[in-house]
């Protein structure tokens, strides 16, 4: 009674004293409490029930309004103890379906329900760590030459003292820019700025995990997309989906803020310009090339899917070149 809480001493809610406590369908794991770490997750029974129900829905491909709203309520509670923002996107889709004109599931909703089922079965517990005090600042930017249709991406990771911990500078040739949509519209600033931001957060995901990172960019459309976890267009959405997967895998919680272009240090490496703070020993060019290749593969796959559905044009995935 040191906490002032009442607790059950008889009947079915009585539990034995231990390092794992279950309450209201949630499990609190205190094994790491001596190290200032606590893990919180849904109990296995709740996970099994939700997975079973979603499996049945996917099998029959129908979900009426009553069932949809009921599933949304149950998933909304369970999602509170899962890391990442995929759940909020699914909950919005369920609301749209509940008040739509048909109970039949379309392919899009079926896919996100499949993702949620996989997430319920594989997600790690939410981790509360009293030792999480590290702060990071991530700056990203992109440039584009309308004359020769080439672009540049830049990113800078700074610690809490303002010192550069790492940075990258990558150029995109004509084929790579076309893959991002330059062949079908005048500018691809949105896609490039989003790509630079998501690349930086993947490359430095281990450092950003369970810390207090802030991402700074000068494109409001990209910032709002990163906050919502939803991007505009198939190409940008394929980039965003990779970012959301990284966010879940590394338990990262990034705050997204605006910085004026004049104060964005990443503007310089995006244009192949030097800065005294960006020293050669902190440059991570190989990591950036590998990371860019992964994102381009995802974009190429998305474009192939669009071509098969008759909504887009397939482009060859170009090789990534070092600047």
Q: What is the pLDDT of residue 13?
A: 64
What SS3 class is residue 55? helix
Q: How many CB atoms lie within 10 A of CB 20?
A: 13
Closest CA to 151 of 313, 298, 292, 314: 292
34-43, 121-130, 297-306: segment of lowest average pLDDT: 121-130
Q: Which residues pair with 139 in a beta bridge?
A: 156, 216
Q: pLDDT value at position 319?
A: 41
| Owner of token pair 């020293």 | 279
pLDDT, tens digit (0-9, with 9 covering 90-100), for 7-30: 666 766 666 667 777 777 788 887
Would you say residue 155 has pLDDT above 80? yes
For 258-295, the pLDDT digits (tens) are 999 999 999 999 999 999 999 999 999 999 999 999 99
Domains along the chain?
1-131 (no CATH), 135-308 (3.30.420.10)
* Beta carbons of 265 and 156 less than 8 angstroms apart: yes
- Rounded to a whole number of angstroms, the distance between the first and last alpha carbons of the chain is 65
pLDDT at 132 over 80: no
The overall average pLDDT reported for the chain is 85
**Amino acid 8: pLDDT:** 67
Return the pLDDT at 118.
Answer: 84
Cβ–Cβ under 8 Å, residues 214 and 136: yes
Give the pTM: 0.75
């Amino acid at each position: 009674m040191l906490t002032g809480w009442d607790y059950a001493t008889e009947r079915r809610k009585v539990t034995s004293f231990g390092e794992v406590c279950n309450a209201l369908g949630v499990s609190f794991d205190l094994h790491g409490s001596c190290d200032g770490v606590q893990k919180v997750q849904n109990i296995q029974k709740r996970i099994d029930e939700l997975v079973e129900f979603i499996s049945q829905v996917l099998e029959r491909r129908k979900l009426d309004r009553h069932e949809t709203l009921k599933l949304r309520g149950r998933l909304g509670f369970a999602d509170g103890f899962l890391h990442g923002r995929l759940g909020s996107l699914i909950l919005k889709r369920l609301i749209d379906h509940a008040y739509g004109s048909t109970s039949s599931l379309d392919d899009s909703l079926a896919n996100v329900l499949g993702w949620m089922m996989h997430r319920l079965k594989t997600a790690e517990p939410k981790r509360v760590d009293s030792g999480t005090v590290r702060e990071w600042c991530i700056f990203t930017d992109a440039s584009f030459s309308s004359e020769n249709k080439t672009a540049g991406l830049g990113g800078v990771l700074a610690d809490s003292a303002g010192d550069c911990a790492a940075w990258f500078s990558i150029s995109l040739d004509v084929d790579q820019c076309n893959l991002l949509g330059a062949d079908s519209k005048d500018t691809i600033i949105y896609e490039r700025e989003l790509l630079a931001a998501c690349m930086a957060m993947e490359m430095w995901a281990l450092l950003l995990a369970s810390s207090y990172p802030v991402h700074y960019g000068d494109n409001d459309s990209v910032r709002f997309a990163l906050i919502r976890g939803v991007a505009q267009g198939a190409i940008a959405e394929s980039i965003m989906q990779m970012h959301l997967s990284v966010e879940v895998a590394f338990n990262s919680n990034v705050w997204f803020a605006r910085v004026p272009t004049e104060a964005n240090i990443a503007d310089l490496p995006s244009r192949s310009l030097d800065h005294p703070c960006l020293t050669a020993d902190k440059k991570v060019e190989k990591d950036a090339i590998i990371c860019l290749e992964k994102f381009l593969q995802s974009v190429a796959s998305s474009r192939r899917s669009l071509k098969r559905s008759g909504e887009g044009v397939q482009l060859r995935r170009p090789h990534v070149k070092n600047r």
